Chains A and B, each alone.
Chain A
Amino acid sequence: MDDPADLTTVLADVRRGMIPAHVYNDEEIFRLEAQRIFARSWVFLAHESEIPAPGDYVVRRILDDSFIVVRDEHGAVHALFNMCLHRGMQVCRAELGNASHFRCPYHGWSYRNDGRLVGLPFHREAYGGDAGFRRSDQRLLPAPALDTYNGLVFASLDPDAPPLREFLGDFVFYLDYYTRQSPSGIELRGPQRWRIKANWKIGAENFAGDMYHTPHTHTSVVEIGLFREPKAEKRKDGCTYWAGSGGGTTYKLPPGDLRERLRYVGYPDVMIDKMLREWSPAQRAVIGEDGFMVSAASVFPNLSFVHNWPKVGESDDVLPFISLRQWQPVGPDETEVLSWFAVDKEAPEEFKALSYKAYLMCFGSSGMFEQDDVENWVSLTSTAAGTMARRLLLNSRMGLLADDEPVVAPLEWSGAGTAYVGYGEYNQRALLARWADCLETPVRTPSAVGFGTGS
């Protein structure tokens, strides 16, 4: 597809932190994003804990492409394009389940759970056997690239994608806080799924770095005593960091050592002991010495994380929870949110139950934080559709002086990447800079593949 005429200007504006408002609701931009971001980047599909047993599967999408993410009889995970090789019917129409085979409802071709075609009715009569359609070694089209980190399954539609670990880069330093609190890692529950009339980038940017919205947007949650942290004073003492393909926000914790600070956010000692063993000296020092605790984060393009610690009962005790969420683009003005509850597999059952409760009160379809976030994003998106929005450049330069020097010096700490204490839109700019890099680079379209006939 051709670049929109003004793409160069749009990207130049974005790179200097002046965001043309229409990028949050623009048909042409969205078409470009579909090809140059979502047909190229590593996109999160599922977590291995969602498909623990052979034959377990979940069906997930990358935009319009549906994939069966399935564990085969030997334990290997596949992402199979959910389209029958014959006439294109969806071979799996459930969202999840367990199956040794997927049988196409149209003409009955069947595929083993590793994707291999094993059944083709009337093969001899209809095709003259292998002379007309070579049945052996045919399989459902796999995602061009598939890889995992800490059990998180990612796929890329680009066969030439760099290795996942390279794509994530130093963000894995922070990913471990959310997904590796013990050798067993996390288990996921959910997702809750719902559709919002908002552009997908807004959530990704918000979770990447918007500490500035917390004291205002989420005032009500503090007022009702659910959450003790987001008071304006406290939020600006945190830092934001950007490392590799992602970035996030932190809270500054009161004085104490590593164990005391993990207790402060509500972790029991049995879990803390494992974190201490699992995390590197630098990962421990971010909390124990520097005093920062990770909160929200995003990985480019559309996967986000939350870690918060609300009160879950009448007592003053807080309890931490973790959520993974994906901003799945549906259109320029619509996003499907997939929100999972995540918890360390080895956590005590009582902790898991309370952490789940904490999650439900705060985030997800009914979460009290999420409710107010989404209202903002829907409102922003609908306003971004018009002519005036094409003339307005939104100021996303917080944290920068006119000469592009940062308002505060970068933080010297043990964490990976670059961090700044206080309010700033460093991460939103970093995320959109990645967005701009992708948008200006056309993707190589791999050649089409056919099956069964010819060599």
Chain B
Amino acid sequence: MTARPLPFGDERHLLVHQWLVDEAYLLDAQDYAAWLDLMTDDVRYVMPVRVTTGRAAGFDSAPGMAHFDEDRYSLGRRVARFATEHAWTEDPPSRLRHFVTNVRTFATDSADELLAESAVLLFRSRGDVRESALLSAGRRDVLRRTAAGLRLAHRTITVDESVLRMQNLAVFL
């Protein structure tokens, strides 16, 4: 990111920061229906597969493959599944904590859209004695102003591991 971020005191940055923290609350609470309402209809939600390559290779994610590559339909199916009584992987539910930090906000060419960068650390605990799992990632979001407030139009999740140490991605980042 070459452009300068908005000053932390800027009202737009404060708005974005609050949005991200409020979103993290919904994800921790697994209130996925409310979370889905924060997406635009044309939302894209992408988490590439990271790979280890030499510095000269010019790429560090697997060509054509992602962990998530979602639109509103597929996110909607995932959320609907959690709402059934038979999504065993989350019943009993995980205890989740999304730590969101390093938030920087950038103005874009469009007055209606703000760009937000953030870091997220997800702590996930299942059962009583199972080892907990961590997932660290950077995020790059396009947030769009709507009559109802900011909505997520695009998210790219840059996970910091090539091989995930988590049993599945029955979570969102």
Q: Which residues of A contact B (CB under 8 A)?
A: 93-98, 189-197, 217, 219-221, 223-226, 312-314, 336, 341, 356-357, 360-361, 364-366, 368, 370-372, 374-376, 378, 382
Contact = CB atoms under 8 A, between A and B. Distances in A.
A242 B167 CA distance: 30
B33 interface: no
Contact of B68 (A312, A366, A370): A366
B62 interface: yes
B92 to A, nearest CB: 10
18 contacts: A94-B57, A97-B53, A97-B57, A98-B57, A189-B63, A191-B65, A192-B67, A193-B49, A194-B168, A314-B73, A336-B163, A356-B64, A366-B47, A366-B168, A374-B168, A375-B167, A378-B130, A382-B130
A39 B64 CA distance: 33
B9 interface: no
Interface stretch (B16-24, B77-85, B98-106, B112-120): B77-85
Contacts of A378: 130, 167
Interface residues of B, number: 38
A194 B57 CA distance: 23
B84 A219 contact: yes
Main secondary structure of the interface of B (DSSP, over half): mixed
A226 B73 CA distance: 11
Nearest to B57: A97
B29 interface: no
A341 B68 contact: no
A137 B47 CA distance: 45
A368 B70 CA distance: 13
Contacts of A197: 130-131, 167
A313 B73 contact: yes
Given A97-B57, A193-B163, A194-B163, A372 B78 contact: no
A39 to B, nearest CB: 23
A365 B48 CA distance: 12
Given A196-B168, A219-B86, A366-B170, 15 more contacts: A94-B53, A192-B49, A194-B164, A224-B80, A224-B81, A226-B81, A357-B69, A360-B70, A370-B168, A371-B89, A371-B170, A372-B89, A376-B88, A378-B167, A382-B130
A194 B27 CA distance: 22
Contacts of A192: 49, 62, 65, 67
Given A93-B52, A221-B81, A365-B169, A372 B88 contact: yes
Contact of B168 (A217, A357, A371): A371
A328 to B, nearest CB: 10
A366 B78 CA distance: 10
B34 interface: no
Given A193-B164, A365-B168, A95 B53 contact: yes
Contacts of A368: 77-78, 81
Given A194-B164, A374-B168, A220 B63 contact: no
A365 B52 CA distance: 18
A357 B167 contact: no
A304 to B, nearest CB: 17
Interface string B33-46: 00000000000000
Contacts of B168: 194, 196, 365-366, 370-371, 374-375
A314 B89 CA distance: 25
Interface in B147-173: 162-170
Given A371-B89, A371-B170, A375-B168, A94 B68 contact: no
Contact of A94 (B54, B69, B74): B54
Contacts of B165: 194-195
Nearest to A98: B57
B66 interface: yes
Contacts of A313: 73
A189 B62 contact: yes
A357 B78 CA distance: 13
Ranked 6 nearest A-B pairs via Cβ = A366-B169, A194-B164, A219-B86, A375-B89, A220-B86, A190-B65
Given A190-B62, A368-B81, A96 B164 contact: no
A224 B84 contact: yes
Contact of A97 (B49, B54, B86, B131): B54
Given A96-B51, A360-B66, A195 B88 contact: no
B87 interface: yes
A334 B3 CA distance: 44
A315 to B, nearest CB: 10
A95 B162 contact: yes
Contacts of B73: 312-314
A194 B65 contact: no
Nearest to A92: B54
Contacts of B47: 366
Contacts of A219: 84, 86
A223 B82 CA distance: 11
A53 to B, nearest CB: 13
B65 to A, nearest CB: 4
B3 to A, nearest CB: 31
Contacts of A196: 167-168
A190 B64 CA distance: 7
B52 A95 contact: yes
A191 B57 CA distance: 18
Nearest to A360: B69
B169 A96 contact: no
A376 B66 CA distance: 24
Contacts of B67: 192, 364-366
